[in-house]
Amino acid sequence: MPISVIFGIELKESVMEQNISMSSYSVGDQVPLTCLITSCRSWNGTVELVDSSGSVIQFKTVNLLEGSLSISFKVLVGGSEEYPVEYSCRVKTSLRGETFSALSNVTLS
């Protein structure tokens, strides 16, 4: 089951920036990250925001009809992060007993 995932800051419709400069953000700001998912089938599953250690820090349950879907997450800029920081958007679904997963990464530097 082909699932395509693009993750980053949406610059304009379907154009994503995956290497994000933190120079325009201050401590306390929220960085808007978008996960654009495209699939040739309908499915139910989860979309997870994963940090560089592999921990799920946010997730959303989705019901995708055939086509594409945009899911947004916001990451709070703290004062103790050492950059670059990498986040991933992981899409997980099961169909007929098989588990499918797709992953896309973004780097904040």
Query: Rounded to two decimals, what is the model's pTM?
Result: 0.81
* Average pLDDT over the chain, rounded to an integer: 83
Question: Binning pLDDT at 50, 70 and 90, where does residue 103 land?
Answer: confident
d(CA 90, CA 7) in angstroms, rounded, equals: 9
DSSP letter for each residue of 10-78: EEETTEEE-EE-GGG--TT-EEEEEEEEEESS-EEEEEEEE-TTS-EEEEEEEEEPSEEEEEEEEEE--
| Neighbour order of strands in the sheet with 19-20 | 19-20, 98-108, 85-95, 43-50, 56-64
Per-residue model confidence (pLDDT) at position 59: 95
